[in-house]
């Protein structure tokens, strides 16, 4: 959780040169240099989008993202706005990471026991039901009623980035709890998009996606190694879900859940299988060095290269596919996908008329749903599930920490903004809903950070020697 071991070591070494700079960077780096999805680039892109939508070039800026992009193949063509292509084609990559990470925790992590897995599931149910109830209580029955879906989802990137700030002082199970909760929460939001904010569902697309998904599972069953068929089938899953009318981000979650979380070759088996090849490589390399003519040297070097190829493949088989996939996708998601999403979707024109709507039922409903409803539903439902024996808190996670995660769950940014656009289209109502999401996210982040900060001990002084 948080910085990778190498980056952690570099930060510790840097503290000897500049304790003050190290103390600052130690707080900032988890937002930018973490080994998982981080929220720093997304935050910068959000601020930049707010600026660009409130200066003289705002019209040209928004027109750029609304530019139609058409992809044609023969007589068949698909046309969407550039912003919609980012939502449908790039954002699913983020959810591939979420799906793979959740599977890893469920199979071999803090949520591997069914009662531990039931804990975030119960929280997710409460984290959707209570916010919707609060929103409809305040804003139901009027023009704002269609916006109830904006309070369903949680922004995984921001939530995980804030938890990463306490990577060395909070239990690992806390991140797993946040991740699993956010994943179920996001799937719930995507299902709401599919069935409440979509005009029609095309069953043919779902059949195609299901067949491709079954193909991925089948290839895994027979132990197919080459990645090309998996990539092609994943593209078919994405295309089928998109064609069905369901938001394509759910394809990302489904693909992520199919990625193996165990290596093809255990380390013990690796040690047994490669020893002979290592000896053969050593012998061939030595023979090449001692060869008396070019032909013999060439033959021995080819033999050594063949043994190296075998060792390389065996070493690759010891790596977990999900870890490798997350490692490849994470930089692209951090620095391309999520920032582009924010730049193309954050459209809040700060004006007197908009600010006057802060007291409107729509804005109040969004803020109450996210800031109050999320933690209340998450904490209440997990407590009830634990009290009746259906769920169990992850090891070393206290109820105060659970409250902190519940507060962070109120950061409803990416999918909340997207649902606001689906609910209200382009106009004043969408901007008011987006303003409510922005206010709620700031409040939820501050409250969640304060709660989790209170769960940690005093921080060590910058430059202080590590504890033995």
Distance of CA 430 to CAs 125, 236, 340, 348, 412, Å?
Answer: 26, 33, 19, 9, 15
Radius of gyration of the CA atoms of the chain, in A: 25
Provide the terminal-to-terminal Cα distance of the chain, rounded to the nearest Å: 21
Which pLDDT score, from 0 to 100, does residue 67 have?
Answer: 93
CA distances from 122 to 189, 192, 333, 387, 408 (A): 16, 18, 28, 12, 16
DSSP state for residue 316 in the 8-state scheme: H
pLDDT band at 366 (very low <50, low <70, confident <90, very high): very high
Length of the chain: 468
Amino acid 448: pLDDT: 94
Phi, psi of 266 (to 5 degrees): -70, 155
pLDDT at 28: 59
Q: What is the CATH architecture of 37-198+246-262+321-454?
A: Up-down Bundle (1.20)
Give the pLDDT of residue 364. Answer: 95
Looking at the predicted structure, is the pLDDT value of residue 27 above 70? no
The answer to whether residue 216 scores a pLDDT higher than 90 is yes
pLDDT tens string 140-190: 888 899 999 999 988 877 887 788 777 667 887 888 888 888 878 877 877
The SS3 call for residue 134 is helix
Which CA distances in Å does 377 have to 128, 181, 410?
A: 7, 12, 11
**Does the structure show a pLDDT above 70 at 324?**
yes
pLDDT of 460 reads 43
Higher pLDDT pick, 282 / 366: 366
- What percentage of the chain has pLDDT greater than the value 70? 88
Whether 111 and 120 have beta carbons less than 8 Å apart is answered as yes
Per-residue confidence (pLDDT) for residue 34, from 0 to 100 = 55
Give pLDDT tens digits for 58-92: 889 989 999 998 888 777 777 888 988 998 899 88
Would you state the pLDDT for residue 465?
Answer: 40
- pLDDT, residue 6, reads 53
CB neighbours of residue 394 within 10 Å? 24
What is the rounded CA–CA span in Å between residue 229 and residue 227?
Answer: 6
pLDDT tens per residue across span 104-144: 877 877 667 788 889 988 999 999 999 999 999 999 888 89
pTM reported for the whole predicted model: 0.77
pLDDT band at 290 (very low <50, low <70, confident <90, very high): confident
Tokens of 153: 């989802």
Instruction: Please give the residue that has the higher pLDDT: either 19 or 56.
Output: 56
- Judge contact between 150 and 437, C-beta under 8 A: yes
């Amino acid at each position: 959780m948080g910085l990778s071991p190498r980056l952690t070591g570099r930060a510790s070494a840097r503290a000897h040169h500049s304790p003050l700079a190290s103390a600052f960077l130690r707080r900032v780096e988890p937002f930018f240099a973490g080994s998982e999805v981080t929220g720093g680039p997304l935050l910068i892109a959000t601020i930049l989008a707010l600026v660009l939508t409130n200066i003289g070039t705002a019209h040209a800026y928004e027109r750029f993202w609304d530019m139609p992009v058409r992809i044609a193949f023969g007589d068949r063509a698909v046309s969407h706005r550039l912003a919609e292509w980012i939502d449908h084609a790039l954002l699913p990559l983020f959810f591939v990471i979420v799906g793979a990470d959740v599977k890893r925790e469920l199979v071999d992590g803090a949520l591997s026991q069914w009662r531990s897995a039931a804990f975030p599931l119960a929280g997710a149910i409460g984290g959707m039901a209570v916010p919707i109830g609060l929103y409809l209580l305040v804003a139901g029955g009027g023009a704002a009623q269609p916006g109830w879906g904006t309070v369903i989802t949680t922004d995984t990137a921001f939530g995980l980035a804030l938890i990463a700030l306490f990577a060395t002082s909070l239990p690992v199970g806390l991140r797993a709890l946040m991740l699993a909760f956010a994943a179920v929460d996001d799937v719930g939001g995507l299902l709401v998009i599919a069935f409440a904010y979509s005009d029609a569902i095309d069953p043919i697309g779902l059949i195609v996606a299901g067949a491709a998904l079954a193909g991925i599972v089948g290839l895994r069953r027979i132990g197919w190694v080459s990645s090309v068929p998996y990539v092609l089938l994943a593209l078919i899953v994405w295309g089928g879900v998109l064609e069905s009318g369901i938001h394509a981000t759910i394809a990302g979650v489904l693909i992520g859940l199919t990625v193996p979380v165990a290596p093809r070759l255990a380390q013990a088996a690796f040690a047994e299988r490669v020893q002979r090849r290592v000896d053969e490589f050593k012998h061939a390399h030595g023979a090449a060095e001692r060869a008396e003519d070019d032909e013999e040297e060439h033959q021995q070097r080819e033999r050594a290269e063949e043994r190296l190829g075998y060792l390389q493949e065996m070493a690759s088989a010891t790596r977990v596919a999900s870890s490798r996939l997350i490692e490849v996708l994470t930089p692209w998601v951090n620095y391309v996908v999520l920032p582009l999403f924010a730049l193309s979707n954050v459209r809040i024109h700060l004006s007197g008329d908009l600010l006057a709507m802060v007291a409107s039922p729509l804005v109040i409903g969004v803020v109450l749903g996210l800031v109050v409803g999320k933690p209340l539903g998450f904490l209440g439902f997990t407590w009830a599930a634990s009290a009746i024996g259906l769920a169990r808190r992850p090891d070393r996670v206290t109820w105060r920490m659970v409250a902190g995660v519940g507060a962070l769950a109120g950061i409803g940014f990416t999918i909340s903004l997207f649902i606001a656009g689906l609910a209200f289209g382009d106009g004043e109502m969408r901007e008011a809903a987006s303003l409510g999401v922005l206010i709620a996210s700031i409040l939820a982040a501050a409250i969640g950070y304060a709660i989790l900060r209170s769960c940690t001990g005093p921080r060590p002084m910058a430059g202080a020697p590590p504890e033995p």
